[in-house]
């Protein structure tokens, strides 16, 4: 094994340990040099390898001792005046002027900085704890991995299976026969109803409810509604992240399914028997009605409304505040508006709509001109007679 590999392994092992969870933000990373960070990220260092950093900052606000990153060209101007001690940049960046900071060149500056932030979050959020805290209730019929963590005032019901490295923070409810896979994090106040299954490395943020009843009611002749029992469950595959105060309803029968790699924002409603395909991302306040199947790698903006029982093809992009009322059969389609239709056509329609007052004035003037010409023509015809 080469020396660089040995150094990299050492930094990987020591990086979290060198960050004290007792310190505040301005005290983080103070033991790390540019060389250590470059080795950790497997990047190329340009500048002073002994430069030290003690804080994470935005490039436009960075001071001496700060570590920041640059991935967006519109912020490049700050690089040439920045007082930051270390800046992570893309390896493809061509400098337009000299810099006074130490650079670490990596393939993707954004994802590399995200890796550093993840280590910080793991320390400050309490990740790494093990055992069951006082005042938590864990059923004797539940199975808990020895290194899992169950926070205070959490309730774990009969038959629940909590895998290795799982972190369940205080005040959660884990229902009967729930399964949670390796490395998942369940933040305070999450409720997971009976029979739901979570894969590995799933993250669920505070206030989210997994497996609440779907909205199923049968109308009766007297005008009342009879509740339809929701006897299915929710299946969440590996590497899914769900934001705060989102609801994912259990299926009437079968499963509501969130496929691998899906990212859901805060305040999203996923109705019963919905299926969301791999690596789809959905922004806040979107509502998805029952039995809709969303394909893979879709991007859905905020406040989008989607009716039930439709299919949405892979690679679909839906702009914010759009309303989707029918299936999307063509892949890689971009939609906009309510009802949603082709993006470019919708922009043309919006442009026409904005110009309607002007068009109305022009039309009124045209009508007035036609009336005048008609009157002149009629008068001429009368004189000729």
pLDDT digit string (tens) for 245-291?
999 999 999 999 999 999 999 999 999 999 999 999 999 999 999 99
Distance CA 170, CA 149 (A): 10
Q: Among the options 119, 135, 205, 272, which is catalytic? A: 272
d(CA 343, CA 353): 15
Which portions of the chain are predicted below pLDDT 50?
A: 1-30
272 is catalytic: yes
3-state secondary structure (DSSP) of residue 258: strand
In the prediction, which pLDDT does 127 show? 63
Rounded to the nearest 5°, which phi and psi values hold at 105? -90, 125
Cross-sheet strand order for the sheet of 247-249: 137-138, 155-156, 173-174, 191-192, 209-212, 247-249, 269-270, 287-288, 305-306, 323-324
Q: Is 125 helix (H, G, I), strand (E, B) or coil?
A: coil
Q: What is the DSSP letter of 151?
A: -
- Looking at residue 78, what DSSP letter applies? G
297 near 313, Cβ under 8 Å? Answer: no
Asked whether 92 and 74 are in contact (CB, 8 A), the reply is no
pLDDT at residue number 124? 62
Identify the pLDDT of residue 171. Answer: 98
Say what the pLDDT of residue 297 is. Answer: 98
Contact 153, 171 (CB under 8 A): yes
pTM of the model: 0.76
Contact 249, 230 (CB under 8 A): yes
- pLDDT confidence of residue 10: 37
């Amino acid at each position: 094994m080469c020396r660089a590999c040995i150094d990299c392994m050492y930094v990987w092992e020591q990086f979290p340990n060198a960050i004290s969870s007792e310190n505040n933000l301005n005290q983080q990373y103070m033991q790390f040099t540019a060389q250590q960070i470059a080795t950790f990220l497997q990047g190329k260092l340009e500048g002073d390898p002994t430069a030290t950093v003690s804080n994470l900052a935005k490039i436009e606000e960075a001071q001496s001792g700060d570590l920041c990153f640059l991935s967006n060209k519109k912020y490049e101007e700050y690089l040439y005046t920045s007082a930051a001690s270390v800046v992570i940049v893309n390896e493809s960046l061509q400098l337009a002027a000299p810099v006074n900071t130490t650079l670490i060149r990596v393939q993707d500056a954004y994802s590399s900085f995200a890796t550093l932030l993840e280590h910080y979050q793991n320390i400050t959020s309490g990740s790494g704890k093990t055992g069951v805290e006082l005042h938590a209730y864990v059923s004797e019929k539940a199975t808990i991995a020895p290194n899992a963590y169950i926070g205070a005032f959490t309730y774990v019901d009969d038959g629940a299976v909590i895998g290795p490295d799982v972190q369940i923070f205080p005040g959660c409810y884990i229902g009967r026969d729930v399964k949670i896979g390796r490395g998942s994090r369940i933040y305070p106040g999450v409720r997971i109803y009976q029979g739901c299954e979570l894969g590995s490395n799933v993250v669920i943020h505070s206030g989210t409810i997994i497996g609440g009843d779907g909205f199923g009611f049968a109308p009766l002749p007297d005008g009342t509604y009879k509740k339809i029992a929701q006897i299915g469950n929710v299946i969440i595959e590996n590497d899914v992240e769900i934001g705060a105060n989102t609801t994912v309803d259990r299926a009437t029968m079968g499963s509501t399914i969130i496929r691998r790699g899906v990212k859901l924002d805060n305040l999203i409603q996923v109705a019963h028997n919905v299926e969301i395909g791999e690596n789809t991302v959905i922004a806040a306040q979107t509502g998805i009605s029952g039995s809709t199947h969303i394909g893979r790698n879709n991007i859905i903006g905020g406040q989008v409304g989607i009716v039930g029982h439709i299919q949405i093809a892979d690679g679909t992009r839906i702009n914010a505040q759009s309303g989707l009322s029918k299936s999307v059969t063509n892949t890689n389609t971009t939609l906009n508006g309510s009802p949603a239709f082709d993006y470019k056509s919708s922009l043309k329609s919006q442009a026409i709509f904005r110009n309607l007052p002007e068009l109305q004035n022009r039309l009124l003037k045209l009508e007035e001109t036609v009336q005048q010409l008609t009157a002149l023509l009629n008068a001429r015809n009368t004189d000729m007679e």
